[in-house]
A and B are shown apart, each in its own frame.
Chain A
Amino acid sequence: MRSQKFTLKNTDDATASRIAADHPADWDMERVFERSYGKFLGAQSQNGTALISETAGDTLEFTEAETSPAKKGLRISRFGGIAAAACIVAEILLIRAICISPDRSETPDNVDIIPAFTRETEGTDGASTAPADAPTDAVTEAISTEKATEPAAEDMTEEITQEITEDNTEESPENDLENDDEAEPEDAPSEESPARETGFTVSKGTYTGSGLTEGFDEIRYTPEHEIPEIINHSCDPEGYMVLSRNEKSGFTEIQLLDTNDGSLYFLTVFAYDSFRTGFDPASGTEPEYLEIGGRPAIYRRDSGDDNAFGYLIWDDGCHVAMLMAEQKNYAEMISIAENFK
């Protein structure tokens, strides 16, 4: 029997137009808009005008005079400059909107300090620190120093073209469905604990911020130490120029320019007693756990793409610091973290 290939992705233009009209692509477009707007702002910054920020009063001017000492070799490459700036802007806007949330006042004083990077078999800080609307049946994983590199539940490179052939009598076995059901994470009720757990935890599907809930996981970090004021925190790593430094309520934003290749980095320093960030486990890598200068750190990329955005979050000894850049600049991110004073 002659086989006929049916495909949706590579359909003809007429059918594609019908499909697009019936099913317009209108999902998650706010994120795409923010990316566009970030690129626009990034392009503006390249013209020597005010640096990327709508709060212009808080930003420094980026002029040739200021950059002249480092002008030799200063190169704003497409990926190192515009894209990074754009992504950074988009991400920082996103983070401002959804990701950063201080958790205060709910941790008792008589805490049992649990060192970071110890593996826990159960128990969470969910009851004491999770938002009120977080699911109570969250599965919370304690973190170990071992790299958590388990593959995502769904193969991200899943073939997208489905062929249906007339002579294809092979059907997916029913137990595929059963396995699929079994693939759902088993719910494990979190137990209330008066202890103030420290270090990183990843809570599956618990992130609740700006309407993002189901499917988003949460990285939470609670340092062991008491939190000092952040105002005079210094950051001037060698080889980088501080383009802007914005003191916000409770945190500091510092934009760093790599004077060798023009790459931009966005460093945010928090004085919170814990902080959390949500991420979509379907579109990024599993968190990687590191030690930088003896301090706990976590690294994650937004996707498997080499140019994907990367987060590096670490405890600098007195604050939580988060650095964002492209994955290809991973080594530089580590270097900045190591030299962060």
Chain B
Amino acid sequence: MTEAELRSAVSSSQKDGFRLIFQQYQSYVYSVVWGRIRSVGTAEDAEECVSDVFADVFIHYNDINEGSLHGFIATAAKRTAIDRFRRLSAAKGIPIEDEELSMIPSEEDIPRDAETAERNARLYEAVKSLGEPDSTIVIQKYFYDRRSPDIAKDVGMTPTAVRVRLNRALKKLKRLIDADSP
């Protein structure tokens, strides 16, 4: 939907219109938030942060200029995610300064980072090669940090079946990575 259509929907029904805005941007916002806090936060933290972002958007909706909705949401997502990251880091006793400094690569870090990225890419390719629903289960569990019962609802299985599939998928992953190792 275009921004004009979204605004029209809000004019007709505030809650339904806000829901449409949420539905249009929730994946984007979640990816921004999770990308920032995943090293220190949980899926619950991400959901809370996403809800904060959209609450901010709803509260300031009438102040957002025409054509600026996407930009406002993007800014709110980044700002809120950084704020949440800082709070979570502080709660875990991670010095913010150290965390920020660690994000600036040194010359020595560059080869190591390249190796890490290559290894991560290999892992993800291996996860994808598991096929569905196993790749989804692994991603939901180990990337998004979701609980087996929640995953089970999404994939239409019992929590036990999810755990069993996860166990087998991890063994298969190990074999795949071992076979692919130089």
Chain A positions near chain B (C-beta within 8 angstroms): 4, 6-29, 32-33, 35-37, 39-40, 43-44, 54, 86, 153-154, 156, 158, 160-162, 164, 166, 168, 171-172, 176-177, 180-181, 183-184, 214-215, 280-283, 303, 305
* A6 in complex: contacting residue of B47, B50, B119, B144, CB < 8 Å: B119
Subset of 17 A-B contacts with CB under 8 Å = A8-B139, A9-B38, A13-B35, A15-B121, A22-B128, A24-B27, A25-B26, A33-B26, A36-B18, A36-B22, A37-B58, A40-B55, A171-B171, A172-B170, A180-B163, A214-B158, A283-B149
Knowing A27-B150, A39-B52, A180-B167, the reply to whether A164 touches B174 (Cβ < 8 A) is: yes
B171–A54 touching, CB < 8 Å:
no
Knowing A15-B124, A154-B147, the reply to whether A180 touches B153 (Cβ < 8 A) is: no
Most chain B beta-carbon neighbours within 10 Å: one of A36, A44, A282? A36
B117–A15 touching, CB < 8 Å:
yes
A86–B55 touching, CB < 8 Å:
yes
Interface size class of B (residues with CB under 8 A): 35 or more
What chain A residues lie within 8 Å of B181 (beta carbons)? 4, 166
CA of A18 to CA of B158, assembled, Å: 28
Q: Which of B23-76 contact A (CB under 8 A)?
A: 23, 26-27, 30-31, 34-35, 38-39, 42, 44, 46-48, 50-55, 58-59
How many whole Å from A34's CB to the nearest CB in chain B?
9
Dominant SS among interface residues on chain A? loop
Q: Which 6 A-B pairs have the closest CB atoms?
A: A282-B149, A39-B55, A36-B54, A40-B58, A25-B30, A20-B31
In the complex, B19 has a CB within 8 A of chain A: yes
What chain A residues lie within 8 Å of B123 (beta carbons)? 6-8, 11, 15, 164
What chain B residues lie within 8 Å of A214 (beta carbons)? 152-153, 158
In the complex, B104 has a CB within 8 A of chain A: no
B59–A303 touching, CB < 8 Å:
no
What chain A residues lie within 8 Å of B89 (beta carbons)? none
CA of A196 to CA of B55, assembled, Å: 45
B119–A9 touching, CB < 8 Å:
no
CA of A292 to CA of B113, assembled, Å: 59
In the complex, B173 has a CB within 8 A of chain A: yes
CA of A154 to CA of B55, assembled, Å: 32
B145–A160 touching, CB < 8 Å:
yes
A282–B38 touching, CB < 8 Å:
no
B177–A37 touching, CB < 8 Å:
no
* A180 in complex: contacting residue of B139, B140, B160, CB < 8 Å: B160
* B39 in complex: contacting residue of A9, A36, A180, CB < 8 Å: A9
Number of A-B contacts (CB under 8 A): 186
CA of A43 to CA of B55, assembled, Å: 9
CA of A128 to CA of B178, assembled, Å: 57
Return the CB mask of B7-30 against A: 1 if under 8 Å, else 0.
Answer: 000000001001100110011001
Chain B positions near chain A (C-beta within 8 angstroms): 15, 18-19, 22-23, 26-27, 30-31, 34-35, 38-39, 42, 44, 46-48, 50-55, 58-59, 113, 116-117, 119-121, 123-124, 127-128, 136, 138-150, 152-154, 158-160, 163-164, 167, 170-171, 173-174, 177-178, 181
Most chain A beta-carbon neighbours within 10 Å: one of B23, B46, B142? B142
Further contacts, 4 of them, CB under 8 A, given A25-B34, A164-B177, A172-B167? A7-B123, A21-B31, A35-B55, A180-B160
How many whole Å from A305's CB to the nearest CB in chain B?
8
B35–A17 touching, CB < 8 Å:
yes
What chain B residues lie within 8 Å of A13 (beta carbons)? 35
How many whole Å from B127's CB to the nearest CB in chain A?
7
CA of A263 to CA of B120, assembled, Å: 46
B164–A177 touching, CB < 8 Å:
yes
B127–A181 touching, CB < 8 Å:
no
What chain B residues lie within 8 Å of A181 (beta carbons)? 160, 164
How many whole Å from B182's CB to the nearest CB in chain A?
11
CA of A13 to CA of B120, assembled, Å: 10
* B26 in complex: contacting residue of A20, A21, A26, A156, CB < 8 Å: A26
Knowing A19-B139, A156-B147, the reply to whether A303 touches B116 (Cβ < 8 A) is: no
What chain A residues lie within 8 Å of B19 (beta carbons)? 33, 37
